[in-house]
Structure 1
Amino acid sequence: MAERSGEKRRFAVLALSRGGCVLGQRLAASLDADFFACKGRLTEVVNRVWREYGEIVCIMATGIVVRTIAPLLQDKYRDPAIVVCDESGRFAVSLLSGHLGGANDLAHLVAAATGGQAVLTTASDVLGRTPLDLWCRDWDLTPSDKAAFTKAMGRLVDHGSLTLWSRYLLPDLPPDLHPVAERAAADLVIDSRIEGAARGALLHPQALVVGIGCNRGTSASAIAGAVEKTCLQHHLAPQAIARLASIDLKQDEAGLLDFARQQNWTIDFYSKDQLNQVEGIIASAAVQRATGAKGVAEPAALLSAGPGSTLLVAKMKWTDVTTAVAEIADPLAITTLGRTAQ
């Protein structure tokens, strides 16, 4: 089941009729969900649960659900999962956010609880194609352009396969994704660089670590500007940044912590002794006097990126900020290990 934002509760079950409420209460108990009787106040309840819940079951006619949720729709990346069920429990229809939201899985759960049938209409499920949005989610791949990615999903449905080029070692691929040697010939391109794919959708892996050094009291906006300029100058995708890294003296640096929080990135902190063990770093006398470390941004980025990593961007000095970028050697394998360990 797809997990939604941690700020949202998971399941809500809504019903209108007397028979729907009987089934709804039974279903809510089965799913450990919150139940809402909605007769006379459906719009009010839907507006509330839309904000507060990640997955919603509506026991009522599909038409009234569509009319009620229509003003709330945004996109499949933000809309909650919606499953519509008749009051006899015969059919559980995945109506909205079937893949990323988890409505397809929820439909199966509802059908199992009612003894009914899950109804899925997503083309990849009907035709047996790889659900590309879920595949990308599982490998922490972020589409650079959602419209191009949607077109690629359409090609997969229409033609039965896609070609794929990757800068990094690939995991075992589904049978309908085929690796190719030429980047420009691929339908899908996995890369941390921003280079236009001739006809493909660009997917960014979690492959980069940005090392940060900064003066005391540096603002989040100053750090953000330095990171943005670093990426622009080296044609790197910010979406490919996995995390930040710095010296442990900066664990209480408000601007750095605020910047990381704004971007939803973690920060790895290292002691001066750990930083000094990294080989190949040109020592900075000024940094050594201030911190006891021969450098901060470069060695911190390399340590965080792990064994086999490379220094992709040597230290760059900005006003009050120093940046460096290390590239993780095998980001898709790291993703696999992280997912397995959870």
Structure 2
Amino acid sequence: MNIVAVTAGGAQLARRLGALWPEATLWLPAAVIDAMEQADGVKQTDGTEQTWAPSLRATLARLFCAGKPLFFIGALGILVRMIAPLIQDKRHDPPVLVLDEAGQHVISVLSGHWGRANEITRQVATAIGAVPVITTATDVAGLPAVDTFARRVEAVIAPWSAVKQIASAMLRGEQGTWYAERRWLPALTTNASSAMEPFPWQPLDAAAPETTPPSSTPPSTWSVVLSAKAVPQATLMLYPQYLIAGVGCRRGVTVEQVDQALRHACALVGADSRCLRGLSTGWVKADEEALLAWAGQHELPVTICEAAQIGAMIKEHPEIPKSSFVERTIGVSALCEPAALLAHPQAQLILNKTIVGPVTVALAQVPWPLLVSDPVTANT
């Protein structure tokens, strides 16, 4: 989290917020800090305070592009003019909030749902006794937002255009239906709370997830389906990100070959490749351009495992198939399976190494949903 102040009053509020969220970085005007230190003897005691000097526009641009929650203490008009050229869309813009220097109001400015700015606004307002200002239509109407839910439970939305369509339909009072695979229902029921913005989920027939939702349910004008496999009739799909791919490949593979292998592996376990939450590979593939490019295109992290880590994981899991060829080549007897397991402390292997052309893939699953307990600090 980055907190930017432009006045002496704003700097005082920034320090108040910094005391509540010690992990935040405070960006205070150099001239104001010098004056405050001379007046009251307050000195910077750690690395959480930084000073900025003109230009403010350049400072805000750098922090906006960092992708972390951005709090601006000052006039809303100033902020809007300075960040307007940087705005892309709700999937990529960071959550942005504005506070007046008296701490009377907290305004959710940008990325209210997907970036959780609305949630952060409420939390900050409660913490400092301010009035939260939230203007998104569904929040004003007291309706849940599907993109907020998807972000909190780490699900991929497809297509994005349907988010607006469904929100508009809900505001018009149109009826819709929510379906989820039976295997996800216990987690949804257990974790149902106002913080998760629960929906009235109905079970999707796990035996035939690609069929039309049950005709016994009331007719609806739209449907949302939470499933690992695509349901063509769904207005909007939510793909839970519960898979990690351990990947190996020959030198010089293409992005298309990586994509084909990952899609094939996911299909073998009954999932869409959009259920992946990350890739994992060994130190020997740390610079493999196709792997990094595919992960970048899908905005997924890549875990790089060292030889010692992989060797230890192989010993811990003797059931992992060994390869003398792999051992002669890179010094360890397996790569994909241990790499997949190393990417998450609770990973469980569900697919051993599968060869698709020049690419090998193993899959591990992790617990889902992975809820974010503190929306303010999630992206700090």
Partner of 1:315: 354
Residue in structure 1 matching 2:2, options 10, 13, 21? 10
CA distance in 2, matches of 1:213, 1:83: 42
Give the CA deviation at 1:141: 0.9
Partner of 2:118: 104
The one-letter code sitting in structure 2 at the alignment partner of 1:199 is A
Please tell me whether residue 55 in structure 1 is matched to residue 94 in structure 2.
no
CA distance in 2, matches of 1:192, 1:123: 30
Number of corresponding residues: 309
CA distance in 1, matches of 2:264, 2:243: 15
Give ranges in structure 2 of 5+ residues lacking alignment.
19-25, 33-51, 214-221
Residues 239 and 198 of structure 1, relative CA distance in 2, 3 Å threshold: same
Please tell me whether residue 165 in structure 1 is matched to residue 193 in structure 2.
no
Give the CA deviation at 1:225: 4.1
The one-letter code sitting in structure 2 at the alignment partner of 1:187 is S
Partner of 2:244: 209
How high is the sequence identity, in percent, across the aligned residues? Answer: 25
Give ranges in structure 1 of 5+ residues lacking alignment.
1-8, 15-20
Residue in structure 2 matching 1:78, options 64, 70, 92? 92
Please tell me whether residue 230 in structure 1 is matched to residue 230 in structure 2.
no
Superposition pairs of residues 1-342 of structure 1, within 5 angstroms: 10-14=2-6, 21-32=7-18, 33-36=26-29, 43=57, 46-51=60-65, 54-60=69-75, 62-86=76-100, 89-108=103-122, 111=125, 115-159=129-173, 162-166=177-181, 168-170=183-185, 171=187, 172=189, 173=192, 174-182=197-205, 183=209, 184-185=212-213, 187-193=223-229, 195-214=230-249, 218-219=251-252, 222=253, 224-233=255-264, 237-244=272-279, 250-255=282-287, 259=291, 262=296, 263-266=300-303, 269=310, 271-274=313-316, 276-278=318-320, 286=325, 297=336, 310-311=350-351, 315-319=354-358, 321-324=359-362, 326=363, 328=365, 331-332=367-368, 335=370
CA RMSD of aligned residues (A): 4.4
- Show CA shifts across 1:275-297 (max 9, x none): 6424xx6x767557767988654
Residues 111 and 205 of structure 1, relative CA distance in 2, 3 Å threshold: closer
Is contact 1:231–1:238 with CA below 8 Å preserved after alignment?
A: yes
Is contact 1:89–1:116 with CA below 8 Å preserved after alignment?
A: yes
The one-letter code sitting in structure 2 at the alignment partner of 1:24 is G
Is contact 2:246–2:280 with CA below 8 Å preserved after alignment?
A: yes
Give the CA deviation at 1:315: 1.8
Secondary structure, counterpart of 1:11 in structure 2: strand
Residues 294 and 163 of structure 1, relative CA distance in 2, 3 Å threshold: same
Partner of 1:3: none
CA distance in 2, matches of 1:307, 1:43: 44
For structure 1, which segment, 202-211 or 268-277, has the greater mean C-alpha deviation from structure 2 after superposition?
268-277
The one-letter code sitting in structure 2 at the alignment partner of 1:54 is P
CA distance in 2, matches of 1:189, 1:253: 36
Is contact 2:3–2:70 with CA below 8 Å preserved after alignment?
A: yes
CA distance in 1, matches of 2:106, 2:335: 55
CA distance in 2, matches of 1:231, 1:201: 23
For structure 1, which segment, 251-260 or 142-151, has the greater mean C-alpha deviation from structure 2 after superposition?
251-260
CA distance in 2, matches of 1:256, 1:41: 39
Residues 157 and 332 of structure 1, relative CA distance in 2, 3 Å threshold: farther
Residues 165 and 114 of structure 1, relative CA distance in 2, 3 Å threshold: closer
Residues 233 and 68 of structure 1, relative CA distance in 2, 3 Å threshold: same
Residues 267 and 150 of structure 1, relative CA distance in 2, 3 Å threshold: farther
CA distance in 1, matches of 2:129, 2:201: 39
Give the CA deviation at 1:239: 3.0
Give the CA deviation at 1:72: 2.3
Secondary structure, counterpart of 1:266 in structure 2: strand
Is contact 1:145–1:201 with CA below 8 Å preserved after alignment?
A: yes
Give the CA deviation at 1:227: 2.7
Is contact 2:87–2:93 with CA below 8 Å preserved after alignment?
A: yes
Greater RCO (CA < 8 Å, at least 6 residues apart): 2
Give the CA deviation at 1:131: 3.7
- Show CA shifts across 1:290-312 (max 9, x none): 6798865468658979787543x
Give the CA deviation at 1:136: 1.7
